[in-house]
Structure 1
């Protein structure tokens, strides 16, 4: 029923799996037949505190029962409190603009960089350097910022100019010219294959860019909000970027994006805006999400979950080296390199049949992004099912 309606009325932008999920409890989903699935995807790193989280649901209900939205023409108390919390958790002297998604957050970051390049220098600077295999969004500008050739089809051209995509961090040093205003990177490339960069390499780059007065934008849409174990991957790498973008896990499932910048007075009224961005609903939900995540970080349970999950994942890797070539990632942003793309597709399909949800990243990476609140029981069951699926594949 749902498949027929979806195909008739929804634009075909996804190769969907037509399971009909009806409810969820933490990292477990149930379909219309009440079959359960262990969810190692969390809605692509979004449902950070699990499905059906009662504390978040209660906070959303409380807020919707009073005010859902009034627009940014008026002060919004939970928005202001959330901005303060982000500054405290990031350990950065920042102001924040709230948007509705990661792509919007990255658009705003690019606008900040370009205004900086227009107002801070005698001669205009506007060019932004990104990296091959990066992913920064699907708007026209963030598609161009994305360093994947497959995203730059003629269908949507012409694209905005001023973007270049380099193969490595080392290439950045020799590619900055008199018109370069910013470098924009992910510390762990998510869509590009769950590829973390070396910490010392990033610290060296951050120091160099500061000396050159080139802004460093860190896209933490996927890595942020404790996904790598610390509030920001930037905290883990011990750097202080000029701009950080967040989205995904910040709202626990409600749409929110954030642009955090140390250039606190860069925007003037009218420079940027959003009708829905940072409204009562999403910022109230995000504050509750952060309360939950701070608690599990402070009591040690998040770190314990990361250690346990990665031990189970490594066991899968060690037991199946005929299928996998590497175990990669940080925190609860993990991946297994698969020997070829055909095998990867078969693993995802067979795992689903066995009741466990996993993702693809890049051309050959099996990606894991579980809820940060996933239980030991859910991890045990999920990896047992995955092992059974892999055994089925090897048996033919």
Structure 2
């Protein structure tokens, strides 16, 4: 399966028809209102498709605090030196100017499900007929002993795009000769990208070029991980002796950190490190908890419509969901957004709604032009989003095939960001 920019937009646009558009309170003159909270791969896509396909029948408001959105996908390539940070930044101007989306740069701080309103930090209250939540992830409190958000500058997570990613790369570049980089990897399920193991590869690539005697330690609470054989083959080929992966069987889940002393303790053994990337256990973005639509950590949804199983007027997308077999990826969120958009438009305008279908591919770069991928197609059942079939790169593939896979990912990036932001 090979995708370029045109193929991506064409195939994904055909997968679902879309949605609507709300405005700030009192401005919609009777049109149904949709408020979208979160402007990433799920939220921006949903806002664009609702506005585009409803042709003015629905009022769409997108609530997103940042004016420039930095993608998590491809942020690892910035760390590895394959992208610059500006290439990851995208604005919401086209959504507003070309599609009529009312873009509000503010934080959503409250949801009243009975009144069907969203309260913003600035004091505005937005009414909705349908609400779309696509807030991404937050971290489980206490998931890594010794670490909380107050330590994110000393030990970055770099799991939200932008400044955290820049900070982590700066710390890696400042490591002393022969220094030690440590990663505390997350348990399942976790947002990917930015995948931990692609990140390890990109850190190794950067260090091999700039600090070749440096070491990398990965403390992992899991016994195995996605594309494990491919990554381990690549690490052995490109970064011999540099990476020490410590899985569950060897104490990788028994970890604590001390940000003040810059130490990591793995199964009772303390190690002084120069950089520590802590990626804690994850949960749905906090606004889902505030809305009361989580099962504790994630938001359960119906795969047919992406509607919350706790409130039919709320749709939840992407990383925040408990939906079944799909990974927590930008591609998944984009695919789910189109299904939700179609369902919302059907509910609010009576337009046709077709059976939900989904797809996902996750690419990873191991070294220069050494790209691998895994992906699948999915369909909605009454119980979950279920995997139909899948594919994965194989160990021992030729350099030419790996190069084609990497180039395919570049086309996908251009395609999905165009699909999100117009």
Q: Verify same fold: TM over 0.5.
A: no
Structure with greater helix share of residues: 1
TM-score normalised over the length of structure 1: 0.30
Structure with greater strand share of residues: 2
